[in-house]
Amino acid sequence: MKSNTNSCCSHQTEFDLVQVKGTWTRQTERCRAEQGKLSDAKIYENKSDHGVSWTVVSPIVFTYKVIQCKDILDPRNDTLLWGHIGDEETKGTLTDSEPVKRFVIMDETVHRLYGSQVAQYFEAREVVHRILPLPTTEENKRMELVTKILEEVHEFCIDRRSEPIIAIGGGVCLDVVGLAASLYRRRTPYIRVPTTLLSYVDASVGAKTGVNFAGGKNKLGSYVPPVATFLDCSFFQTLPIRQISNGLAEMLKMALMKHRGLFQLLEADGRKLLHAKLQSCRTSNSSELEDSATASIRIAIETLLEELAPNLWEDDLDRLVDFGHLISPELEMRVLPELLHGEAVNIDMSFMVYLAHQKGLLTGAEKERIIQCMLGLELPVWHQDCTLDLVRKSLKQRLKHSAGSLRMPLPTGLGSAEIFHDVIEDCVLCQAYQKWTDELSSSGNK
């Protein structure tokens, strides 16, 4: 027997949620009897011949700070301990409570370099603390690390509202600790202190956390931003040049996508910035380099925040920041640990520049300027394991997981880009790949 859908009538009612004397009640705006605390959430009740359904709409708002500072490990500097607190009254209340406690997770290498300074900082501030060094490498970026952190945090016993977990290290450390914090008691605040350039301009200022799973990069994770990120570029002084180059790849990504001025800065001064480790020089004849270092980092962070803030949970899949991240996850995991993250991203970007040129989006001169800038930053522009089959597989996966649209960010000039939804014709892909290989294979591998 066919059902008569026309005979099924339904009626929807919108309810506000109002709290009076600690109790929440549903009230329609028209019939609101009492004034109280009004929630941003709403409940929609739908009654039909078949029953009743309720739809809950509850906005989630995250507020987090990104703070640049100097000498963060100087005990006279309040930032590491209280920088996440917005008002002095709250800070005073927490200071009065005894004892103040902090749980700190550090990358093992960072711990060897800075562990004693971190301990001295908290000892000088009379803070009860526990420092947990962990091997936070890409190969170890698994749930086992998360579980280890959770066990140690549970044993240390922190107040999940007033005693944030602190992560000090590179991007892997920040990602792993962020995931652990998002899981502990369903969400515990945490603080990021990046020590690599890559994490400084990329992972530390966003909301994503994650670990690798089932052979895939960051397949498990969450969108829970830290309460604060503290940025101190003095950590760069102990980084090898390759790690600086690795971070410059993500800065170049933002330059190519949306900031011609940043591209020109990296094109002109990139090699000097690289070998100065983006430190501000204080000699009288180096003001230009100081300006370049300060400006390049500031622009990279500001442009990334512009793209992340309106789309923190990636509800919109059209994301310029995905440039360099279509092929690189597959390549990076395939050759692990040969390539650093930024190096794999740059190889991806290099190929996409050739693809953009093949599609007529970039001139030959623009393509050449971009590749020369990459080489000036001492980044790889080609890799033998980035095969045409890998490129095809990666784009196929992209199409599968992007709601039936390729959503490919491509440069349309030096500092401008568009997101293309159409599937790339295989002949165009092959031609771009062949030219890329013919011209760059001799200079590609690090």
Residue type, 408: M
Q: How far apart are CA 71 and CA 307, in angstroms?
A: 29
Three-state secondary structure readout of 117-128: HHHHHHHHCCCE
Q: How far apart are CA 329 and CA 228, in angstroms?
A: 27
Residue 220 sits in the same domain as residue 178: yes
Nearest to 386 by CA among 412, 418, 409, 354: 354
Give me the pLDDT at residue 92, please.
60
Q: What CATH number did the domain enclosing 187 receive?
A: 3.40.50.1970
Active-site annotation, residues: 208
Beta-bridged to residue 130, according to DSSP, are 103
The residue ranges of DSSP E strands in 214-328, in sequence order, are 216-223, 228-231
Residue 115 sits in the same domain as residue 37: no
Give me the pLDDT at residue 280, please.
77
Enter the pTM of the model: 0.90
Give me the pLDDT at residue 94, please.
64
Listed in sequence order, the residues at least 6 apart from 14 whose beta carbon sits closer than 8 Å to its beta carbon are 28, 29, 42, 43, 44
Distances (CA, A) of 35 to 16, 158, 402: 12, 37, 45
Residue 275 sits in the same domain as residue 290: yes
- Number of CB atoms found within 10 A of residue 253's CB: 27
The residue among 186, 214, 239 that closes a domain is 239
CA torsion 208-210-216-217 (nearest 10°) is: 60
List per-block mean pLDDT (blocks of 10 residues) for the chain, which spans 446 residues: 52 92 88 80 94 94 92 97 79 70 98 98 97 96 97 95 95 97 96 97 91 94 96 97 98 98 97 94 48 92 94 92 97 96 98 98 98 98 98 94 90 98 94 98 69
Give me the pLDDT at residue 161, please.
86
Give me the pLDDT at residue 290, please.
47
Q: Which domain holds residue 197?
A: 65-239
Residue 290 sits in the same domain as residue 401: yes
Residue 248 sits in the same domain as residue 204: no
Residue 17 sits in the same domain as residue 162: no
Residue 151 sits in the same domain as residue 191: yes
Q: How far apart are CA 119 and CA 285, in angstroms?
A: 38
Give the chain's domain count: 3
Pairing of strands 228-231, 65-68: parallel
Residue 423 sits in the same domain as residue 312: yes
Collapsing DSSP states into helix, strand and coil, what is residue 195? coil
Residue 30 sits in the same domain as residue 167: no
Buried b (16+ CB within 10 A) or exposed e, 36-66: beeeeebbeeeeeeeeeeeeeeeeeeeebeb
Prior bond to 411 cis, omega within 30? no
